[in-house]
A and B are shown apart, each in its own frame.
Chain A
Amino acid sequence: MEKYWSRWRFPGIFYLAILLAGVSCSQSHRLAPLSSSTIPGSASRCAAPFVTESWQFIHSIEAKLAMGGSSSVIGVTNVYPERKVVHCVIMTLEGFVLFDATYDQEIHVDRKVPPFESEAFAEGLMKDITLIFFKPSGEITGSAMSENGSITCRYEMDNETVEDVRVHPDKSWDIHQYEDKHLKRSVSTGLDRPPGMKNNSFIPSELELTAYGEYGYSLRLRLIEARRLTKNKHLAETQSRRELQK
């Protein structure tokens, strides 16, 4: 019976956890030069993909691994952009919670089921979520407009990280994140928006996050539900977490 538990025979979820824990840099995707001038209005257009209020998103997440195989889970993500706070739960389709953590200046993990117990996994997950939902923390150091009207803004952070945010005229968008001038992650969306949310660029029906490199992976997120959160929800969560910590 023990043979059935071999990670080599059923690698999906184990690889998912391991690979999300550490992503190596790509050797082939290098940061391209961008004009240091700033196009008027670019800052507001490039901010469109990101949340400005607190939201709850529920996605089905399909993980495709560079070495083959795939696995699916459900992710619940509460984002509070005012303080850049994230609360994230990953569970199986059957509803069992695999991982429950909050990022509020630091990561606090409430629940972690092996193989999701590593600190590196939690850090990597929060980086993915931050990249998708929050406007980059750095300053815009350049922008460009393509012939088809797509606008790209380059944000440079203090830690050798650069993020290019590109917003297309049809309101689809993509993000490319570089570290040491090498592409590390990208996020892209399609055109579809959920019913009643056509004007919300930051709520696409589908998202795809790709991590590059030898141990790369791809996460396809399909939106199940999106709800705006009240301030009380955040306070209730914070209070509940403090009580749990006592």
Chain B
Amino acid sequence: MGSRRPLNRLFEIAAVCLISSVFLGWSGDLEKFSEKAKTVRSLSADFVQEKHLRILVQPLVSKGLFYFNKPGSLRWEYREPVGSILLMHNGEIRQFLKGKNGYREDNGPGIQGMQVVMGEISLWLSGNFRDNPDFEATVLDERMIVLIPKAPSLSKFISKIELLPSDRPGVIQSVAIYEGDDSFTIIRFENVRVNEDLQESLFTKK
């Protein structure tokens, strides 16, 4: 693990946070998360992502759709401003980018990081926050979970992650990933559906 490239680790952790954060049910008690997570079979949601950067006049807003089926099928799809689809199914991971002539397969950094995400997801889905080798989890004001990277190599890229659960069990309102004081990403989940039957083709076809 220690020899992974920082960029790969960055994507791996990001993907894990994005995916696992939607699973949380909030009662102010970190230990109860694992019980909540076990009841979730599938999840789907719309999301709005805001990238905040010092350079930007206004945050860069991306919108998309998210689907997850246990044990490890994922579709993370950006609809705008740049269309892209990340698919994970049966341990195989592919990414497609929308161009003038439709979608084409991409070899970018996202695909590299996602190759090892699945193992980490299993850990998070089991609710093992305390045992997570990458982050120290704390609860702030009984309303927010704050994840602080343990390893200096990781903290160079992510300073902290804040998970804001909603009042609805099994649903999180938003996740904020801080790269630094003036660079952070906020993802808000909307229209979250829990335990719906999701077609397998969602995770295999672009």
Which residues on A are within 8 Å of B, measured CB to CB? 1-2, 4-5, 10-13, 56, 58, 60, 62, 69-74, 76, 78, 87, 89, 91-98, 100, 111, 113-115, 224-225, 227, 229, 233, 237, 240
State whether A5 touches B57 (Cβ < 8 A).
no
Give the A-B pair count, Cβ closer than 8 A. Answer: 121
State whether A13 touches B53 (Cβ < 8 A).
no
State whether B4 touches A10 (Cβ < 8 A).
no
State whether A229 touches B57 (Cβ < 8 A).
yes
Closest to B183 in A: A97
State whether A76 touches B112 (Cβ < 8 A).
no
What CA separation (Å) do A73 and B97 show in the bound complex?
A: 11
State whether B78 touches A93 (Cβ < 8 A).
yes
Residues of A within 8 A of B102 (CB): none
State whether A12 touches B51 (Cβ < 8 A).
no
State whether A224 touches B82 (Cβ < 8 A).
yes
From B7, B58, B78, B119, give the contact of A98 (CB < 8 A): B7
Residues facing A in B139-190 (CB within 8 A) are 157, 177, 179-180, 182-183, 185
What CA separation (Å) do A94 and B16 show in the bound complex?
A: 13
State whether A60 touches B11 (Cβ < 8 A).
no
What CA separation (Å) do A82 and B3 show in the bound complex?
A: 45
State whether B106 touches A5 (Cβ < 8 A).
no
Residues of B within 8 A of A71 (CB): 106-109
Residues of A within 8 A of B55 (CB): 56, 76, 78, 87, 89, 100, 237
State whether A13 touches B112 (Cβ < 8 A).
yes
Residues facing A in B51-99 (CB within 8 A) are 51, 53-58, 60, 62, 78, 81-82, 84, 97, 99
